[in-house]
Structure 1
Amino acid sequence: MAAGWVWSMAAPLGVLLLSALATRAVIGLLLRHAVLDHPNRRSSHASPVPRGGGIAVMAAIAAGWIAYALTMPALLPVMALLLAAAAGLAAISFLDDLFDLTAAMRLLAQLLAVLLGMLVLADAGPVFQGLLPGWLDLLAAALLWLWFVNLFNFMDGIDGMAGVQTVALALGLVLVGISAGAGGGTGAGPDAGIGAAWQPPLLMLAAAAAGFLWFNWQPARLFLGDVGSVPLGYLLGFLLLSAAAAGQWAAALILPAYYLADASITLVRRVLRGEKFWHGHREHFYQQAVRRGFSHATVSTMVAGGNALLILLAMLAAAGHELPALAGAALVTAGLLGWMARARPKGSS
């Protein structure tokens, strides 16, 4: 009982404090070394802001996860592999923040990390519920994971967005596990990603993002940077795919529904127009809302509200009501995208 309280309550609070303190320290470090995100025509901010807050977030997550894994021997190899891959991505991504690496170099690093992670995910069961042959299931899961890493990075474009989404996905997976009556799985077994043993790491993931969010809410004093968005997308992608492999495919689809829709629709539009889709832009739905005059805080708050509804629908799906939950998620996502695409602030012409 005492050990469960420590990992369910005390450890996330400790990670929250560690993330906040580390983020504050990183701001000064980045300012001293002039690691700044300077505004350009694709930016949604007007003045230079330090970029690289993901260093603090990932450090807090790693500290919490390692401490937890040392008490759970069955989880230690899985977490060690995931954290090693995430750390490698963070390092490459920080170099990208500093020197603007080529798209090919970034994609190669992400692909290697995903292939490494597939060594774990391959034992979790079929992600696509047996609808695909085993080898094709693995290939499709790897490609979906790779896309999720990139879309998570693409969607980190305004104050508060990535922090809100990370908290929502992590807490959502915890609640899905509870709704599904998850047992005490400890590894990449049938309940990996949603089992009781994974709930403390998920809570710590949410706590680390919340500690950063305090400094990233509008007006942001710090940006996450690729050093944070890429490895966060990697870890969250693994956990969502693991939930799907555990049978919670509908919940795993519902929780990131807005992110999936915004990034995917925007990508398809740009490809059809013949644009260089790998270049930065301001065409995502949330960026359209900001361009029309909504504040970053307003848009991120709307996303948080939409995510709250998606979490409730994911819990409904986990309880065995997949079809109505998926229909509800489609409506929530369409409503959120529609608001972003058409709504205007009061008083605007």
Structure 2
Amino acid sequence: MHQKPTITGGGISFVLSTAFFSLFVDNLLFIICLPLALVGLLDDFFSLKNIYRYIVQILTSIFIILQSKFVLNYFENFNQFLFLIGIICLSVLITAIINFINFMDGIDGLITSCLIILFGFAAIKVDLSFLIIIGGLIGFLCWNWHPSKIFMGDTGSTFVGAVFAGAVFNTDNFGTSFDLLFCASPLFFDAIICILRRYLAGENIFKPHSLHLYQRLCKAGWSHSKVSINYLISILLLIISCLLNIVFLKILCFFLIYSYAFFLEVEFASPFELELLKSKSK
């Protein structure tokens, strides 16, 4: 999605600042996610095999689960077999969140700006310590907004993905966990729908590509800033609806946002089939 080489691995800046300031708060989540950043940094420069990255993601997911309030509240009375099944299912879900965030980090400012307001919501609803990572991301956004001077790379995207997953599973009730996922759904649905469309088209879903809606909007002529702002506003509207806690407003915002997304897909984005053919011809 970029025409000139740009420095990657820039996520190490907010990873290190977050890790340092986390020493002064009672939240181990940021430290637990550090190995992902290290593996991501190695991958940014040496292209590690996917299996090595996924093993670290699974291990990180297990640690996130074992220290989460969600598991303590809902899984503590399960027998050993059901507890193990629950851990496996939640680990897969967390690695999915990590990778979906990574997939969506493909244009200037998109993930950085969206995660700033999502972590702001997490700070309000879950734990004020998430303000730490917001500070790092705001500083990074100055360099990552279009035209980007630096990319966060896997170093940053896998780290923030894991921290967000940790926020989802560190709540006191299911409703707050659902709201966090609900507010981030514009990012997740873009990733999920793209994976399904590629799978149904017979594509190798593990192969790099540029077929997400946000990427095809850019290929249709939209600027990185315009696309990122559209996703940012969508997430902000969902967050406001959750803060007001009005069910009708949540449903209305959800309907309007995804109707608008469908409109963008049909009227503005470069057609999926066309971009798929271009990808196959390379």
Q: Fold match, TM over 0.5?
A: yes
**Corresponding position: 1:210 with 2:149:** no
- What does residue 190 of structure 1 align with? none
Pairing partner for 1:158 from 92, 107, 112 = 107
Alpha-carbon spacing, 1:102–1:216, altered in 2? closer, same or farther (3 Å): same
1:103 shift after superposition: 1.3
Q: Is the 8 A contact 1:215 1:222 kept in 2?
A: yes
User: Residues 319-334 of structure 1: matches in 2 within 5 Å?
Assistant: 319=245, 321-322=246-247, 324-334=249-259
Give per-residue Cα distances to partners, 1:177-208, cap 9 Å, x unaligned: 2xxxxxxxxxxxxxxxx1xxx21x22222221
**Corresponding position: 1:96 with 2:21:** no
- What does residue 10 of structure 1 align with? none
Measure the CA separation in 2 of the matches of 1:227 and 1:159.
Answer: 16
**Corresponding position: 1:107 with 2:47:** no
1:344 shift after superposition: 6.7
Pairing partner for 1:53 from 1, 4, 10 = 10
Alpha-carbon spacing, 1:242–1:340, altered in 2? closer, same or farther (3 Å): farther
**AA matched with 1:333:** Y
Which deviates the most, 328-337 or 297-306? 328-337
Richer in helix (by share): 2
Extract unaligned runs of 5+ from structure 2: 271-282
- What does residue 275 of structure 1 align with? 203
Task: Number of aligned residue pairs: give it.
Answer: 264
Alpha-carbon spacing, 1:275–1:324, altered in 2? closer, same or farther (3 Å): same
Residue 73 of structure 2: SS of its match in structure 1? coil
Measure the CA separation in 2 of the matches of 1:337 and 1:139.
Answer: 34
**Corresponding position: 1:142 with 2:91:** yes
Measure the CA separation in 1 of the matches of 2:262 and 2:112.
Answer: 19
Runs of 4+ in 1 over 3 A off after TM superposition: 133-139, 243-247, 321-324
- What does residue 169 of structure 2 align with? 241
1:289 shift after superposition: 0.2
1:276 shift after superposition: 1.5
**Corresponding position: 1:266 with 2:213:** no
Alpha-carbon spacing, 1:344–1:259, altered in 2? closer, same or farther (3 Å): closer
Q: Is the 8 A contact 2:121 2:239 kept in 1?
A: yes
1:138 shift after superposition: 3.6
Give per-residue Cα distances to partners, 1:38-61, cap 9 Å, x unaligned: xxxxxx110010001111010111
- What does residue 67 of structure 2 align with? 120
Measure the CA separation in 2 of the matches of 1:145 and 1:244.
Answer: 18
Give per-residue Cα distances to partners, 1:61-103, cap 9 Å, x unaligned: 1122212x2xxxxx2xx51xx3333211111111111111111
1:251 shift after superposition: 1.1
Extract unaligned runs of 5+ from structure 1: 1-43, 70-74, 178-193
**AA matched with 2:88:** L
Q: TM-score, normalised by structure 2?
A: 0.86
1:135 shift after superposition: 4.8
Residue 248 of structure 1: SS of its match in structure 2? helix
Alpha-carbon spacing, 1:112–1:344, altered in 2? closer, same or farther (3 Å): closer
Q: TM-score, normalised by structure 1?
A: 0.70
**AA matched with 1:339:** L
- What does residue 277 of structure 2 align with? none
Give per-residue Cα distances to partners, 1:78-129, cap 9 Å, x unaligned: 51xx3333211111111111111111111111111111221112644239xx
- What does residue 236 of structure 2 align with? 308
